[in-house]
Amino acid sequence: MAVLLSGWLLMQGAAAQAEELWPELLCPITAIQPLNDGRYTLQLGCGELDGMASESRTGPLIRQYLPGQNKGAQAVSGELQLQTVGYFSSQAHFTLAPKQAPPIPGDMVPLEIRLPLPSDQLLFHLSRHGIVLTAQDGTPWVLYRDYLRLPGYDFEAERLPDMLAEVHQIATQADAVFGAEPLREGLFAGQTLQQAMAGSQLNDLKDFLAFVRAFPGKYLGQRWKFPEVYATWIINGAPGPDDEKIEVIPEDVQPKPPEDLIGQRQQDLRLNPFS
């Protein structure tokens, strides 16, 4: 996604803690459709603007970047009004000012977007990276734009008990799917997966969320059914955010200490000075 943010506004954002931010986002035009009334319908490829940009905002110019010309951005005068703001793309109507060249795909539309206030909620940090945890039926537990819609609201206090209840409900099927063999390592060692899920508490869910925040890896930008990824985490030993997997090297392949390596290299040079 082509996104450019004003450096000044970013610095302001780092300092602002008590008010919402409206930095400028440059959205590329991906498609244009002329209308009979002289306006243009524009498709904007800025990703998830739903809940971030106001649909009623008007007036920004379209900035046209002409290849091969070192003149900076050229403004195409006109009036733009957002019509629909979607999950992956947005649509706007643009009225071109007189004697202006029409917009073309690749032009950039400056929009003001709203950023949520900082939050220490784990679900906030996951949703900010596009990690969407859902119920078994695919319904998201919380989305990034929920934090925009209700700034400061404690979604974790509301949603985690329901997430835990679904884990307990799914637990009855765990042994039938994964087997009843006791887990060999980790927080739930000695228990079956069904026992571990049925006995899970809110703090266990928070431990999993903290792990995903610390190691987002494969989770980034994806939707995941929460009971399933939580069960996978348990099977993998329920690692914490500070855990590091240490690989034990057998004694017979342990590296030689530095002085031995130096001595070996000196001997090699004596035998073959051109090596």
Looking up residue 88, the CATH number of its domain turns out to be: 2.40.30
Is 108 exposed, middle or buried, given 0-12, 13-18 or 19+ CB atoms closer than 10 A? buried
Q: Strand 74-76 to strand 78-85: parallel, antiparallel, or no bridges (unpaired)?
A: unpaired
161 shares a domain with 80? no
146 shares a domain with 102? no
DSSP secondary-structure letter at 188?
A: T
74 shares a domain with 29? yes
Which tens digit of pLDDT belongs to each residue from 243-252? 654 333 344 4
Q: Does residue 273 carry a pLDDT above 60?
A: no
Q: Does residue 37 carry a pLDDT above 70?
A: yes
* CA 57 to each of CA 1, 50, 83: distance values in angstroms, whole numbers, following the listed order: 22, 14, 9
Which tens digit of pLDDT belongs to each residue from 177-208? 777 889 988 889 999 999 999 999 999 999 99
Average pLDDT over every residue of 126-137: 89
| Helix H or strand E segment including 29 | strand 24-34
- Where is average pLDDT lowest: 27-31, 64-68, 165-169? 64-68
Question: How high is the pLDDT of residue 113?
Answer: 73
- Where is average pLDDT lowest: 41-45, 49-53, 154-158? 49-53
Measured at the CA of 115, the angle between CA 111 and CA 116, to 5 degrees, comes to: 155
Which of residues 129 and 114 earns the better pLDDT score?
129
pLDDT band at 60; cut points 50, 70, 90:
low
- Backbone φ/ψ region at 7: left (φ over 0), alpha (ψ -120 to 50), beta: alpha
In a domain, 216, yes or no: yes
In a domain, 199, yes or no: yes
| Through-space distance between the first and last CA atoms of the chain, rounded to whole angstroms | 51
159 shares a domain with 97? no
198 shares a domain with 128? yes
Q: Which residues, in sequence order, are bridge partners of residue 39?
A: 95
In a domain, 256, yes or no: no
Q: Residue 208 is part of which domain span?
A: 122-235
153 shares a domain with 81? no
In a domain, 268, yes or no: no
